[in-house]
Chains A and B, each alone.
Chain A
Amino acid sequence: MQPIHDVLLLLVVLTNFWVLGTTRLSATIRATAVQGVLLAGLPIALYPGFEPHILGLSIGTFAVKALLLPYLLSRAIREAAVRREIEPLIGFAPSLLLGAVAVALAFSIAPRLPLPGLQTQMLVPVSLSTVVIGLLVLTTRKKAVTQVVGYLILENGIFVFGLSQVQRVPFLVEVGVLLDIFVGVFIMGIVVFHINREFDSLDSARLTELRD
């Protein structure tokens, strides 16, 4: 049978497709929360043995990525009263196809990037495709909340990549990264709130209308 960490990594890719294919903002936030839960399970699945370092990373990830950030984002859309991504720059079906292409490319490139001490062959392609899909969401969606979600997915990809080297990276660095994201999303939440108040809309394209 498949080892549990490969199944978790597969589910991470499926949540990426979920974000690409859905129009509802609440569903994209739910997808990132699910992705946070999967990422929290990954360190334990990859390094069984319950070392305090790994456990701390897992619990921190769960608290920030599965609970705190989704909560902040859903509060943002509740206050801004937006429900749907209306007109992305690239439509939903083409972006699904682009996502599939990204996954295919990531899986074909990954074997050429040999890394020392990899637990599973899935780690590199999944992280590459997650980064690319995060970038795709970040650049092609217009609502500020979806762009924050794209940023989170991009960072989740980097997190998955970092998991391959987790024993060499000190715990402090990981915690620092989690804190950075938290602060980043916090600031973006404030920006979202202000965009909404200025323009009565969360459409970041309207930021070009800023003038005296």
Chain B
Amino acid sequence: MSDFPYYSVLALLAVLIVAPALPGIANRTKSALTGRRGAPVLQLYRDLARLWRKGVVYSQTTTAIFRLGPIVLLAATLLAAALLPLDGRRALLSFPGDLVAFAGLLGLGRFGMALAAMDTGSSFEGMGASREVTVASFAEPALFLCFIVLVLATGRLDLTGMYGLPLHDAWPVAAPSLVLAAGSLFIVTLAETCRVPVDDPLTHLELTMIHEVMVLDHSGPDLALILYAGAVKMALFAALVAGVLLPRASQPPGVAIAALLLGLVVVAVAIGVVESVTSRLRMNRVPQLLIAASALAGFALILLLR
């Protein structure tokens, strides 16, 4: 096969390897800005290695759903990663309308985790699942509005086209819309990756946790799968934001992959900066933030339709 997408595979592998460093970079930025030394950037790799060697404890009230949750989450996230054109040229899997599949796969992963959380029978985890799904139900319209902006700007219905060469042609005519969509995507990124204005990954009080409380009962390799899937998800959303702002389909493949990794690091630093300068929103204010993100994307859409 002569046109095997070597570079797509290479980019995907690079992203999968780099992903666990991103939360570390965000946390390191946060500690630097607040005058602390902070955990090493590569801390998550060590955590994953440690968790992988440990045993698993399953509660007697749980069923197979609980054990399937992390696997479904990681599988759905990796499949979603295969849908993104990470090298800027083409994705491993691409078909018209794959943007819906992308959002759907991430939703499936979340669904698996919510079911696993409810399977434990713990009221805290049920509460966490309910909050996570609430936040997601406000984040998803904003994500789809951003995708619609990209579809209209590029005239393509697949992620490969939306983030490929047509995006280059769209920039000169639709720059304000694309910048607004990138801003909206960034807010969605904060919500989907459970970072500060929406959720606090460092909190240790069950009542205030959203994502963390949902995975409280998972241990050992299961928890490692969840943490790794979370890091990959962060990398995917960072790639969505960076892909809009840094269209790289016309670069040579090596440069495009390097630009992608640079973009991921920049988005992670931006997340760290946002976490340092904002406080966490009250739960009832979170929908307002995400509706503001939808309004931004809607405004971008209006500008395109004009």
Binding site for B on A (CB under 8 A): 1-2, 6-7, 10, 13-14, 17, 21, 92-93, 96-97, 99-100, 103-104, 107, 121, 125
Q: List residues of chain A with CB within 8 A of the CB of B287.
A: 93
Could you tell me if A21 and B288 are in contact, using CB atoms closer than 8 angstroms?
yes
Q: Is B296 part of the binding interface, using a Cβ–Cβ cutoff of 8 Å? A: yes
- Decide: A17 near B291, CB < 8 A? Known: A2-B176, A6-B176, A107-B306: no
Q: List residues of chain A with CB within 8 A of the CB of B294.
A: 100
Q: List residues of chain A with CB within 8 A of the CB of B172.
A: 1
Complex Cα spacing A93 to B306, Å? 25
Closest partner residue, chain B, to A98 (CB atom): B295
A96 in complex: contacting residue of B175, B288, B302, B305, CB < 8 Å = B288
Q: Is B299 part of the binding interface, using a Cβ–Cβ cutoff of 8 Å? A: yes
Across the A-B interface, the 4 shortest Cβ-Cβ residue pairs: A100-B295, A93-B291, A93-B288, A100-B298
Q: Tell me the residues in window 281-306 of chain B with beta carbons closer than 8 Å to chain A beta carbons.
A: 287-288, 291-292, 294-296, 298-299, 302-303, 305-306
B169 nearest CB across to chain A (Å): 14
Complex Cα spacing A17 to B291, Å? 11
Q: List residues of chain B with CB within 8 A of the CB of A2.
A: 175-176
Q: Using a Cβ–Cβ cut-off of 8 Å, how many residues does chain B contribute to the interface with A?
A: 16
A97 in complex: contacting residue of B291, B303, B306, CB < 8 Å = B291
Q: Given contacts A2-B175, A13-B299, A21-B295, could you give 15 more A-B pairs where the C-beta distance is less than 8 Å?
A: A6-B176, A7-B176, A10-B176, A10-B303, A14-B296, A14-B299, A17-B292, A17-B299, A96-B291, A100-B295, A100-B298, A103-B302, A107-B302, A107-B303, A107-B305
Complex Cα spacing A92 to B285, Å? 9
B165 nearest CB across to chain A (Å): 19
B301 nearest CB across to chain A (Å): 9
Could you tell me if A104 and B291 are in contact, using CB atoms closer than 8 angstroms?
no
**Interface class of chain A by DSSP:** helix
Q: List residues of chain B with CB within 8 A of the CB of A121.
A: 306
- Decide: A17 near B298, CB < 8 A? Known: A6-B176, A93-B287, A96-B291: no
Closest partner residue, chain A, to B172 (CB atom): A1
Q: List residues of chain A with CB within 8 A of the CB of B296.
A: 14, 17
Could you tell me if A92 and B306 are in contact, using CB atoms closer than 8 angstroms?
no
A10 nearest CB across to chain B (Å): 5
Q: What are 8 inter-chain pairs, A to B, with CB distance below 8 A? A: A1-B175, A2-B175, A17-B296, A93-B291, A100-B299, A103-B298, A103-B302, A104-B302
Q: List residues of chain A with CB within 8 A of the CB of B303.
A: 10, 107
Complex Cα spacing A2 to B303, Å? 12
- Decide: A99 near B295, CB < 8 A? Known: A21-B288, A107-B306: yes
Could you tell me if A103 and B288 are in contact, using CB atoms closer than 8 angstroms?
no
A21 in complex: contacting residue of B292, B302, B306, CB < 8 Å = B292
B296 nearest CB across to chain A (Å): 7
Complex Cα spacing A44 to B232, Å? 47
Could you tell me if B306 and A103 are in contact, using CB atoms closer than 8 angstroms?
no
Complex Cα spacing A11 to B294, Å? 17
Max chain A CB contacts within 10 Å: which of B172, B287, B298? Answer: B298
Could you tell me if B306 and A104 are in contact, using CB atoms closer than 8 angstroms?
no
B245 nearest CB across to chain A (Å): 15
Q: List residues of chain B with CB within 8 A of the CB of A21.
A: 288, 292, 295
Could you tell me if A103 and B176 are in contact, using CB atoms closer than 8 angstroms?
no
Could you tell me if B288 and A104 are in contact, using CB atoms closer than 8 angstroms?
no
Complex Cα spacing A49 to B265, Å? 43
A88 nearest CB across to chain B (Å): 12
